[in-house]
Amino acid sequence: MENNKRVMVAVSVASLYLEPTFTSELVTQALKGEDLVVLDYKNKWLKVKQWDDYISWIHDSYIEEYNSQFLNNNIKDNQVLMSMNEMIEYGYSLIGTPYLWGGKSKLGFDCSGFIQTLLRLRGIKFPRDCSQQIKYINMKKIDLENSDIGDLIFFKENKSISHIGIFVNSNGCFLHCSGEVKINSINSKNKVYYSDRLELLFHSIYRIENDT
């Protein structure tokens, strides 16, 4: 298969791996109809780049020929982006979805995949992993006291950014995926959602300035 050829995901949810083998680490997922650029091909495995520039390996049983008409229709069907409140409401609907390393579908999310999925509903091309997400260029750092709906909260463990959540109100509650999608807070006055563990890991809060 020639490099830089475009293919499409043919199954509902496709697993993508670090190396071209099913025994390798699951690093992310792709959804049916997603457009992939082929960078390399090895023993029925394709090294591909996704819409967020993330690079991984997918087995060729998960893909089909590129169909521009399908993509054009899909873009038309989804061209109206969600408002902030609609995005948060959708996030609430995912509460209880289990944690899955590399996951970014209703079958399971990891923390960064969950946030990336929500922000994409607003047309934001947000990076895939926490270590990349905190470097996103269209963000500014803000104080916890000024946090509001849609702001992002990052956590650090062993000197590395390891977790992310998104604020759902002005009272310090945020959605995140840890064990499952759920609500927490680092405000000790919030008796229902407070997490002392997350407060200890708390690192910084950022607001996306340009959401297009």
Instruction: Return the active site residues.
Output: 111, 163, 176
Name the token pair of 99: 């944690």
Instruction: Calculate the alpha carbon distances from 189 to 173, 186, 200 in Å.
Output: 11, 9, 15
